[in-house]
Amino acid sequence: MNRLLVIDDDRELCALVKEFLEPEFQVDSVTRGDDGVRRAQDEEFSLIVLDVMLPGLNGFEVLRQLREGGCATPVLMLTARGDDIDRIIGLELGADDYLPKPFNPRELTARIHAILRRARFAASLPAAPREKLQCDDLELDAPARRVRCGGKTIELTTVEFDLLALLIKTPGVTVSRDDLARNALDRKWSAYDRSIDMHVSNLRKKIGPAPDGSDRIKSIRSIGYMLIKDEG
């Protein structure tokens, strides 16, 4: 059974989430950010549900410490409804997805299942036949989940890796936001969802510009993104 850690200071919400999810998941909860960091680092969880507003350490600091400490456990952040800044910061720090409060418990369950499906798929890739893809000095080893750029290893989140894997398979071809969302986030893209844009922005920063200084990933207005290949 998948084990989840809920980090939220709303005890009533924690109890409701636990009651709703426990038929499928083992749910542990803590109400302080610093306690959440310790639990996540000392114990194994399949996924962390993390609120932004917390005593001790806020959710952003919890996420930052976990990612900087090498914790790759998927994180679903709970944000204030309509607060784009919280969502953007969470994604920039390495959250896998976000869910605005208040939320429907069924949507929470659906988001958790989607994240866990991506994690299981990623974990199964090393046993697959080796597939290495390259575009200029950018190399992607799909089974090993490893990316090298200019000879240096680049650390990517699960979502960032999946986005790059889609783009590098067809350099010079536009991949729609809907295709990116379906494959990397396991859900349909909506016009008001900026998750894909933020994940692509983080990916751009990590892989840097092309050898000639130009952008590696080009935004195609109102459609999606394209990985640029040097034809020179």
Look at residue 93 in the predicted model and tell me its pLDDT. Answer: 85
Nearest to 207 by CA among 132, 144, 149: 149
- Interval 196-225: pLDDT, tens: 888 999 999 999 988 888 889 999 988 899
- Interval 152-178: pLDDT, tens: 999 888 888 889 998 998 888 899 998
Nearest to 211 by CA among 231, 184, 186, 185: 231
Residues 149, 140: Cα–Cα separation, whole Å: 9
Residues 29, 18: Cα–Cα separation, whole Å: 8
Copy the structure tokens of residue 29.
């909860």
Residues 8, 10: Cα–Cα separation, whole Å: 5
Look at residue 60 in the predicted model and tell me its pLDDT. Answer: 93
DSSP letters of 18-60? HHHHTTTSEEEEESSHHHHHHHHHHS--SEEEEESS-SSS-HH
